[in-house]
Chain A
Amino acid sequence: MPSALIEKSFRTKRLPHIWCPGCGHGILMRDVAQAIENCGLDPDKVVIVSGIGCSSRAAGYMNYNTLHTTHGRAIAFATGVKLANPDLHVIVITGDGDCTAIGGNHLIHACRRNIDLTVVVFNNNIYGMTGGQYSPTTPHGEKGTTAPYGNIDYNFDIPKLAEAAGATYTARGTAYHAPQMIKLIEAGIKNKGFSLIEGLSVCPTYYGRKNKKGSAIKMYNWQKDNCVDVKKAEKMTAEELEGKIIIGEMSHSEKPEYTDMYKEIIKKCGGDK
């Protein structure tokens, strides 16, 4: 018998999931379920939308309305679902490749509209499913199967990108810091507008192996030792922050939401009669 949360939130007949031993995606997927539970959402009103990738397999395991779409298009499908029925809580689970490479344009335009979606990016810094190609979040200098001598691209800072494009809630958490990650997703769900929560995942199989990061355990210890909460970071010097990753709520603002504004337009045109 699994725990009450797992029994309620997952299609337990499909567990254990296919993710590798130690993969951070399992921890982050549980965080999403716990956040939905903590927000007290009616499961019938929750829609999980994903694209393609290891991370996007989450939609197959979660016991809500789920939509497993095509690579990079999760946010586009989610936009359609939300516009068709604004009463639904639409949560997108996507990978760094799915969200910021092939799906990068959908991401920035959904941010720009401030449509009420909660996007949780499982960022493992690589394309896991297809064998370890570098992604837009592979750190500069790190390796992938397509960057055997080191990646010369600079990586995206996803929350910053989303904030600049117009998202009204942005945050970064990690698989290691699960209690905080749950709270960040909760805040994202509660924000009436576009929310982006980056969850730093761990891919021991490809990112770890290609970059000699050691075991899964070593990679979680790295998150533990190198992530600094944004409140603590404010009191640290640039020197002390060198090589560190800042986690916590990155931005939160208010602005009219897209489906609300759309309803207003319909009303103005007499379409609600």
Chain B
Amino acid sequence: MENNKKLVINPAWCKGCGICAEFCPKKVLQVIHEKVQAVNEEACIKCGLCELRCPDYAIYIEKEGE
């Protein structure tokens, strides 16, 4: 996988809607007690679909050097 990319979650902004988890192609995410968590982070392919569909900008892919 691309090592210069990192999955970041900001629980303070997460509203627990679960959209990111539903459409993650690798089933990386799960909503636990109304906040999303990466329960299977090793499987993440850094596709960024969760970032595109999170209505609250609480999950994203950070590129090194940004």
Q: Do A and B belong to a common assembly?
A: yes
Q: Known interface pairs A2-B10, A21-B17, A22-B15. Does A27 touch B51 (Cβ–Cβ under 8 Å)?
A: no
B52 to A, closest residue via Cβ: A178
Q: What's the Cα separation between A3 and B50 when bound, in Å?
A: 13
B25 touches A (CB below 8 Å): no
Q: Can you spell out 26 A-B residue pairs with CB atoms less than 8 angstroms apart?
A: A2-B10, A2-B13, A2-B60, A3-B51, A3-B60, A3-B61, A6-B60, A15-B56, A16-B13, A16-B15, A16-B57, A17-B56, A21-B15, A21-B17, A22-B15, A22-B17, A22-B18, A22-B19, A22-B55, A24-B55, A26-B55, A27-B55, A179-B52, A216-B17, A220-B23, A221-B22
Q: How many residues of A contact B (CB 8 A)?
A: 28
Hey, which bits of chain B sit against chain A, CB under 8 A? 8, 10, 12-13, 15-19, 22-23, 51-58, 60-62, 66
- List A residues 1-49 near B (Cβ within 8 Å): 1-4, 6, 10, 15-17, 19-27, 30
Chain A residues with CB below 8 A from B15, complex form: 16, 20-22
Hey, which bits of chain A sit against chain B, CB under 8 A? 1-4, 6, 10, 15-17, 19-27, 30, 175-176, 178-179, 215-217, 220-221
Chain B residues with CB below 8 A from A175, complex form: 53, 55
Residue from B17, B57, B61 within 8 A of A30 (CB atoms): B57
Q: What's the Cα separation between A109 and B51 when bound, in Å?
A: 37
Contact assessment for A217 and B56 in the assembled complex, using a CB-CB cutoff below 8 Å: no
Of A16, A178, A179, most buried by chain B (CB within 10 Å of CB) is A16
